[in-house]
Amino acid sequence: MRARTGRPRPGGGPGLRKDSGPTDTARRIIHLNYGFQLLFNLLWWMPVFYAYQKAAGLSDGQIFGIQSIYYVAFCLFEIPTGLIADRIGTRNCLRAGAVVMTAANLAPVVSASYTGFLVHFLAIAAGRSLTSGAASAYLYDGLRAEKCDEHYLRAEGTARALGLVAKVVCWPLVGPLMAVAHPTPYVLSAASAAGSLLCAVALPRLAGADGEPGTADSGPGAAEGGAGKAGGGRGGGAFLRDAGVALRCVASSRWLALVMVQGVAIFTLSRICQVNLFQPILIDHGIAEASHGGVMAAMTVAEAVASARPQWLSRRLPPVAWVSLLSLALAGSLAAMTLGGPWAVVALLCLFAAATGFAYPVQRKLVNDAVPAHAPRATLLSVESIVDRAVCALAAIAAGAYLAAGRLDALLWHSALATAVLLGVFQLLLRSGVVRRETAGPGGRRDAPAGTRAGAADRSGTR
């Protein structure tokens, strides 16, 4: 059993009362997570990096070539960094990621050349992969150790919302600041990453979950699940064992694998629309480039509000059903963009962003709940990230082919149909009983039919 920290609960029971608030330690974890997520992901250079690289003399081929290398590197880095997080501890991994991100943002300041930007994006991929699974794993384990599981969903969503709001506030300032000092976006990004390092340093040590010496699990599943991290367990054999455990978890748990696959639709649709197709869609509907920033700001506000309030979703449906419905809303919004005018497209893009905001924290909690007890959580979250980005890379290639052929409307319709087919198969597997929902809590695993609406664990995802 893992050691529990924080204030004892009235009655001594393991459960939480509905009116119980987070402990002091849980509140500290939540607030520091807000700061870390906001500062780590506050990339001031994002709206201007293309123009910045063009001004530095890079060609379009070099710019997009670096982007291709970045996505491939991200997938490759996700494999060892998830294992590293489960070995050295998620808190230490967050610190390492913040250090790498700080250095990465300074690379273009030191050398505004092809080599400098390539090193910059490779380091960005390394820094983000170090934290992509570790941040969520630390928050989840920290709140569970405090018996504050019910606060996870709101904490995850609010952290995302605050980061989005910060971008809305800060990005309009980039142009004026660049006029004062050209490298300002990269200097400010490095300063923000350094601030996230301070938050990571201040994070409390988690008893039995932090992966540091003296905090290894003593439970029966520790050795099997790779949770024991002290002593000689830090060698290469331990990394391979964690990788093997993670793959066996996915192979043996149909529910975990299916939940990960369901998340692919959300990640791919949101990434392709908001990054790759955002400007082509607006240009196709005659919306001037001068208005693109305003549209992006409106979308970001819609996503931020929804991310902060996933509990607005009705509890009459379980979280897994909400993720499917929100994925269909994303697909439907894309298809509807082929039919409307400029104002309708802007409204649909905002609806798309809001659905994305609702879906992300609910999907993240579903995956975390599906991870078996004592399994290497950060490694499994990295596996999910690899699957998402691999599919996204293939979708980006297909999107480029459609756009090159002038078939944007066909791309949007085919994306919607592919999503509907995927989710139809998913729901069929749930309703047929072939897959059963598996929820792992601190005391072990409990199983229930995947399609149930009455399970308390299901309902906790939409509180």
pLDDT of 46 strictly over 90:
no
**What is the 8-class DSSP label of residue 317?**
S
Amino acid identity at 44: W
Lowest-confidence pick of 122-136, 143-157, 222-236:
222-236
Contacts of residue 136, Cβ cutoff 8 Å, sequence gap at least 6: 156, 364, 368, 381
Lowest-pLDDT choice from 1-5, 91-95, 299-303, 374-378:
1-5
Q: What is the pLDDT of residues 250-288, one digit of tens each?
A: 777 778 888 888 888 888 888 778 776 776 788 788 877
* CA–CA distance, 12 with 54 (Å, rounded to integer): 62
What's the pLDDT score for residue 36?
93
Band the pLDDT of 163: cuts 50, 70, 90: confident
Asked if the model's pLDDT at residue 430 lies above 60, the reply is yes
Query: Has residue 432 got a pLDDT over 80?
Result: no
Least confident of 151-165, 216-230, 404-418: 216-230
Percent of the chain with pLDDT over 70: 76
- Calculate the average pLDDT of the chain: 76
With left for phi above 0 and alpha for psi between -120 and 50, is residue 231 left, alpha or beta?
Answer: left
Residue 452: what pLDDT?
Answer: 40
Cα 74–196–373 angle (5° rounding)? 65
Contact 111, 206 (CB under 8 A): no
Q: Tell me which residue of 76, 78, 32, 38 sits closest to 381, measured CA to CA.
A: 78
Q: How far apart are CA 339 and CA 397, in angstroms?
A: 25
Give the chain's domains with CATH numbers: 23-205 (1.20.1250.20), 242-463 (1.20.1250.20)
- Identify the residue with better confidence: 383 or 16: 383
pLDDT > 60? residue 237: no
| Tokens matching residue 21 | 């608030």
